Amino acid sequence: MKINMLALVVLFFILSAFVASHVAVYFSFVRFFGITDIAIKNILLWSLVFLGSSFFISTFFAHQFENSFSRFYYLFANFWMGLLVNLVLFLILAWIIIWVSGWVGAVPKEKLLGILVILASLIYSVYGAWNAFSPKITKMEIMIDSLPKEWVGKKIVQISDVHLGHVYREKHFINAIEKINALEPEVVVFTGDLFDGTDGSLKAFLEPINNIKAPAFFITGNHETYLGIDDAYDAISKTKLIPLRDSLENINGLQFIGIDYPLKGGDRDISKLIPAMKGYDQFAPSILLIHEPVQIEAAKKVGISLQLSGHTHVGQLFPFSFITSAVFKGYDYGFKREGSFAIYTSSGFGGWGPPMRTEKRSEIVEITLK
């Protein structure tokens, strides 16, 4: 069995940061609130152990059981994960204040600082939850060379990273479908991670899809591979979604091209896949649906007009957008044009893990073609 050393290093770093964050919260609270009683220290310690372990335990339950308890526990544990990130951010700020105060000879009120850290973290987390569950409509006008007159002024709606599962439920998805229909698009595109991969009951989630009035294309993301590609495609086969599996559909002279998310150890080299597709015309206008904002140079080379991607969530929680920006070389969010090629990476409609967004708000993207 081949071991990916980079993956092991990243996993070790993440777990180390996870444990260190809980340790930092424990010792900071003991210091700020002047806790000396052993019993209270133990309550704090074991509370943090419970909260930290809940992420792993609830994830196991979420994959094994479909009931109200597993959903609530999963939601609770993931909210704690988001709150933990925010606590650490404000604790860092508090320790900076203490350090600067000591440097200038002032004496900060540490208990007050502790209270402010908790309040600020809670408020910031609630703001993040509102961001996650209150999607905006992002309106774009994008020019495409040689666009057929039938498409001029017409709209395409992109929705990415819905993550249907224990956190983002059918009611939230119904709201999305209503918003999409209100925009009256010519075509709707789902650019991966429709499913979160934690919930085995998909029927209730998918029924609203058939209420979409426009044709709707679908490609897979990494979370469909967690659910199981066959299960994902079997589920959408009962809907009006049109899967684009390394294939294209030509609608009135505009090519819609979809690329499957690569399975573990697999490869999806679009510089080879796209030219080999039946009916592909490099010199005709085209829209590429690919989950991650990658293979930019290859997309340009094969003549793609517009690439639509998602996946990154723009880091979802501050300050992780710095990581996504570095990993995806600045293509992790928003619109960029480079000559005749353009790309839009969506922040996504749902999210993974913590039910909050303290980076970019969730969105549905309306694109008017010019």
Task: Report DSSP state, residue 247.
Answer: E
Q: Where are the alpha helices (DSSP H) in 207-316?
A: 222-227, 229-236, 270-273, 296-301
Q: Show which of 115, 132, 149 is a domain's final residue.
A: 132
| Rounded CA separation 127/357 (Å) | 8
Which of 67-76, 117-126, 259-268, 279-288 has the weakest average pLDDT?
Answer: 259-268
What one-character-per-residue DSSP string does 24-87 give? HHHHHHHHHTT---HHHHHHHHHHHHHHHHHHHHHHHHHHH--SHHHHHHHHHHHHHHHHHHHH
For 166-182, what is each residue's pLDDT tens digit?
Answer: 899 989 999 999 999 99
- Are residue 172 and residue 35 in the same domain, yes or no? no
pLDDT score of 286: 98
- Are residue 193 and residue 340 in the same domain, yes or no? yes
**Host H or E run for residue 281:** none
- Are residue 212 and residue 307 in the same domain, yes or no? yes
- Are residue 257 and residue 154 in the same domain, yes or no? yes
Total of domains in the chain: 2
pLDDT score of 201: 66
> Can you tell me the mean pLDDT for 46-62?
94
Average pLDDT of the chain is 93
Q: Show which of 90, 113, 132 is a domain's final residue.
A: 132
- Are residue 256 and residue 305 in the same domain, yes or no? yes
pLDDT score of 199: 61
- Are residue 80 and residue 166 in the same domain, yes or no? no
Q: Which of 2-16, 165-179, 196-210, 279-293 is the most confident on average?
A: 279-293
pLDDT score of 4: 66
Question: Would you say how long the chain is, in residues?
Answer: 370
pLDDT band per the 50, 70, 90 thresholds, residue 265: low
pLDDT score of 1: 41
- Are residue 88 and residue 168 in the same domain, yes or no? no
Q: 3-class DSSP state for residue 139?
A: strand
Residue 175: is it exposed, middle or buried by C-beta count within 10 angstroms (0-12/13-18/19+)? Answer: middle
> Can you tell me the mean pLDDT for 73-96?
97
- Are residue 9 and residue 152 in the same domain, yes or no? no
- Are residue 127 and residue 145 in the same domain, yes or no? no
Q: Show which of 90, 116, 132 is a domain's final residue.
A: 132
- Are residue 237 and residue 154 in the same domain, yes or no? yes
Residue 31 pLDDT > 50, yes or no? yes
Its domain, for residue 253, covers: 136-369
- Are residue 200 and residue 298 in the same domain, yes or no? yes
Contact 222, 261 (CB under 8 A): yes
What one-character-per-residue DSSP string does 147-193 give? --GGGTT-EEEEE----BTTTB-HHHHHHHHHHHHHH--SEEEEES-
> Can you tell me the mean pLDDT for 37-49?
97
- Are residue 293 and residue 360 in the same domain, yes or no? yes
CATH code for position 238 = 3.60.21.10
Among 175, 155, 179, 156, which Cα is nearest to 164's? 175
pLDDT score of 133: 96
Q: Which two tokens stand for residue 232?
A: 């994902």
